[in-house]
Structure 1
Amino acid sequence: MAKKNDALKTTVLAFERKLDPSDALFRAGNWEDRAQAAQWNLVPVREKSVRGTISNRLKAKDQDPAKLDAAIENPNLQTVDVAALPHDADTLAVRFTLRVLAGAGTPSACNNAEYQNKLKQTVTGYVNEHGFGELAHRYACNLANGRFLWRNRVGAEQIEVVVSQMKGGQAEKQWTFNALDLSLRNFEGNDQTRELGKLIAEALAGDRYLLLDIVAFARVGAGQEVFPSQELILDRSRGDKSKTLYKIGDDDNAAIHSQKLGNALRTIDTWYPAPEDGSDLGPIAVEPYGSVTTQATAFRQPKQKMDCNYSGHAA
C-alpha cells in the first residue's frame, strides 16, 4: 500500500477550456421578425441616476425611531448602468459562437511528468469506459434550454434557441428549440438534443471540427429591461457608479461575458452529495469543490473524497 506522502503531486497544473464561447451580443427586434435578426439594432448600455431610499437593515444602535426617520430623510443617490429594449421592440436576441475542442484532460502546463502520465491514464480510462456522450448531451441541453440567458430567461413569454453548425462560414445544419419546453433541472432532452450532443461528443473526442452559432430569442415585452453581465470594479476610485454593465464597442453595446456563458454550459453536475437539509438545488456548475457562491457552500468537500482532486470520484 502506498503511503500518503508517496502520492503524486504537482505545483503547476493548468488546462485550457474545451467549450470555448465568444461574448454574446444583445440585439432588439420583434418576435415575428426573427428571420431578420441579423439586421436588428444592438442594445446600448446607458446611465441612469436615481434617488433611492434607505432599505437596508439598520444596526441595533440605529433602530431608534428618531434616528430612523432622520436616516430615511437622506436621499440614497445612485448612478447605475441599465440596458432595455426600445419601446417598439418586444424581443431580445442574444447571439454568440461556441467552439468545441479536443484534448480533454491534457494539461496546458504541468511540472511533473509522472503526474501528467497518471492523469492521462485516468482520463483515457474514463473515456474508454464512458465516452463523452453523457457530458456532451448535457451541454447540448444547456444550449437548447437557454440556460445561458440567465436572468433574461426569467418571465419571458416565449424563448426560441437556434443552433447552427457552421462550416466555411455557412450553416451546414440547424436545430430550433422551444427553450421553455426543456427543463433546467434534468437532462432528458429530446431527439434534437441527442443529435446535437453526438456532434459535441465527436468534437471532444477529436473526431471532428465543430463551430456552433447560437441565437436565443426571448420575448420579454416592449421597453423591458434586459440584463447583460455586470462588471466587477475593484478600484472604486475610478467612478461613483454603483452598477457597471459589460459593453462592447464604441457604441457601448450590451453583452454577456464569455465566462458567464461557459458557466451556464457547464452547469451539469447532478452527482454531487445531497445537501444535509434535503433541499434539491438541481444541477450545479462543474467546479473542483462543487462551490455555489449564491449558497456560500462547497458541495464537494475533500473530507468526503468527492472533490475533483480525488481521482477515484472525479466528476
Structure 2
Amino acid sequence: MAIKENTASVLAFEKKLVPSDGRMYGTKWEDRKSAIPLKLQEKSVRGTISNRLKSSIQNDPAKLNAEVEKPNLQTVDVSALGTEEDTLKLHFTLKVLGGVENPSACNNAAFNQSYKTAVKDYISREKFSELAKRYTTNIANARFLWRNRVGAENIEVQVNALNKGSEQSWVFDATKFSTRNFDLNDAKVSSLAEHIAYALSSENDFLMLEIICYAKVGKAQEVYPSEELVLDKGKGKKSKVLYSVDGIAAMHSQKIGNALRTIDTWYPEFGDPATSAGPIAIEPYGAVTNLGKAYRTPRDKQDFYTFFDKFARGEKLERIEDEHYVMAVLVRGGVFGESDK
C-alpha cells in the first residue's frame, strides 16, 4: 500500500494531570492537629476453601469433606486506624500542566500543524471548561478514596493552590457531591475549575494543588491502601501486598489519577440501566478492566482513534461531547502513533 500523507508514525503526549502518591494517616475528626502515619501490618489467617470445585469433587461428599478440611493458610498485609482514631487522612499533590497542543514527539510536520490548529480552535471555543469542571467534581466528591469512601460518615476535602502569588484554598463536603453525574452547579467547584481550565489552556503554565482529605470511617476501622501487583504469586510468602511510601501506607498515583479522569459519560451505553457502568475513566477504548469490557469499540466507531484521526486532520466531529472525549484522552497522555503503511 502507498504511504499515507499527513501521518505521524511517532506520536506521543505527556500527561497533563500529574498526581503524587497519596500518603495515609490516622487522626480524630474533632481534633485533627496531630495525624499519625498509618503502617502496614502482616496478618496470618486460616481461610476456608470457597472456590468453585470440579464436578467430581462436588458430587462426592467424601471428597468434598476432604477438600474443605484443608486449611487455606494466607499471610496478608492490612492497615487500620488506631483504637482512638476515627478518621483517615489522605494527602497528595496534583500538578496541572498546559501545552496540550504540543506533542512530546511527532515525526510529521503536516500532521503536527493540523493537530495544533484543531486543538487551538477547541481551546478558543471551550477553554477546557467542561473537562475542568469534571476533574474538579472528582476532587470535591473524593472519588480518589475509592473503597475508603464507602461507609464514611463524613468526608471533607481541602484544596490549596500552592503557586507563588496565587495562593487560594477551597473546602468541600464530599457527601454533597454525586459520583454518578456532573450536573451539580456549585460556586466553589466553578472557582477551582477556572484555575484548572486556565492551566490546561495555557501553553506552558501550570497549577500546583495540595489536596488533603479527611474521611470519618470509625474507630480502629480498616483502611485500604493500594494493592501491589504480585507477579510471582505462589513464590512469595504473602498473598496480598499493600503499597507503602517511606513506611507509610499509601495509594498509587496511578489509582488517584484514574479516579480524577473518571469523567466519561459520553460513551453510547451511558444511562442504560442494563449495561451502563456509570462514569468510566478516560481510555482510548473505554476499557473497564474489572468488568472485562471495552465501552468504546472501533466497530461502533466510538473509540479514540476513530475520532482523533478526523479531529487532528481538521475534520469536524458530529458532537461536542466527542471533542471533549478526544481532548480528555490527550490530557491523559499516551503513545498514539499510526502506521504509515
Q: How has the CA–CA distance of structure 1 residues 223 and 303 changed in structure 2, closer, same or farther, with 3 Å as cutoff?
A: same
**1:128 and 2:120 matched:** no
What is aligned with 1:308? 304
Give the counterpart letter for 1:139 in structure 2.
Y
Q: Which runs of 5+ in 2 are unaligned?
A: 309-316, 326-341
Instruction: Indicate the RMSD between aligned Cα atoms, in angstroms.
Output: 2.1
**Separation in 1 of the partners of 2:176 and 2:2?**
50
The one-letter code sitting in structure 1 at the alignment partner of 2:293 is T
2:269 maps to 1:274: yes
1:115 corresponds in structure 2 to: 111
Partner residue of 1:72 out of 29, 48, 68:
68
CA offsets, 1:97-137, max 9 Å, x none?
A: 11110012422122333332232222222222322000001
Cα distance in 2 for partners of 1:187, 1:261 equals 18
Q: For 1:243, which of 224, 240, 245 is the aligned residue?
A: 240
The answer as to whether partners of 1:42 and 1:253 remain within 8 angstroms in 2 is yes
Shift of 1:229: 0.5
1:294 aligns with one of 286, 290, 295: 290
1:196-275 mapped onto 2 (5 Å cutoff): 196-206=192-202, 209-236=206-233, 239-249=236-246, 252-274=247-269
CA contact (8 A) 2:127 2:198 kept: no
Q: Distance in 2 between matches of 1:120 and 1:126?
A: 10
Q: Which residue of structure 2 aligns with residue 179 of structure 1? A: 174
Query: Which position in structure 1 is the counterpart of 2:42?
Result: 47
State how far apart, in whole Å, the 2-side matches of 1:127 and 1:171 are. Answer: 23
Identity of counterpart residues, as a percentage? Answer: 50
Aligned residues: 307
Is the alpha carbon distance of 1:166 and 1:142 closer, same or farther for their aligned partners in structure 2, counting shifts above 3 Å? same
Q: Secondary structure at the match of 1:32?
A: coil
Spell out, residue by residue over 1:170-225, the C-alpha distance to the aligned partner (whole angstroms, 9 max, x if none).
98211111101100011123111011101100011127531111011010011111
3-state SS, counterpart of residue 74 of structure 1:
coil
Higher RCO by CA contacts (8 Å cutoff, separation 6 or greater): 2
- What residue ranges of structure 1 are gaps of 5+ in the alignment? none
Kindly provide the amino acid, as one letter, of the partner of residue 135 in structure 1.
L
Q: Which residue is equivalent to 2:52?
A: 57
Q: CA deviation at 1:8?
A: 4.3
Aligned amino acid, residue 241 of structure 1: K
Cα-to-partner distance string for 1:136-177 (whole Å, 9 max, x where unaligned): 010000000000000000011111111111134x98211111
Cα distance in 1 for partners of 2:237, 2:114 equals 51
Match for residue 24 of structure 1?
22
**1:115 aligned counterpart, secondary structure:** helix
Q: TM-score when scaled to structure 2?
A: 0.85
Q: Name the amino acid aligned to 1:185.
A: R
Cα distance between partner residues in 1 of 2:182 and 2:158: 18
Normalising by the residue count of structure 1, what TM-score does the alignment of the two structures yield?
Answer: 0.91
Aligned AA (1:32): E
* C-alpha separation in 2, matches of 1:289 and 1:4: 28
Contact 1:164 1:171 in 2 (8 A): no
Secondary structure of 2:258 counterpart: helix
Residue 284 to residue 83, structure 1, CA distance change in 2 (3 Å): same
**192, 195, 208: which one aligns with 2:191:** 195
Deviates more, 1:91-100 or 1:107-116: 107-116
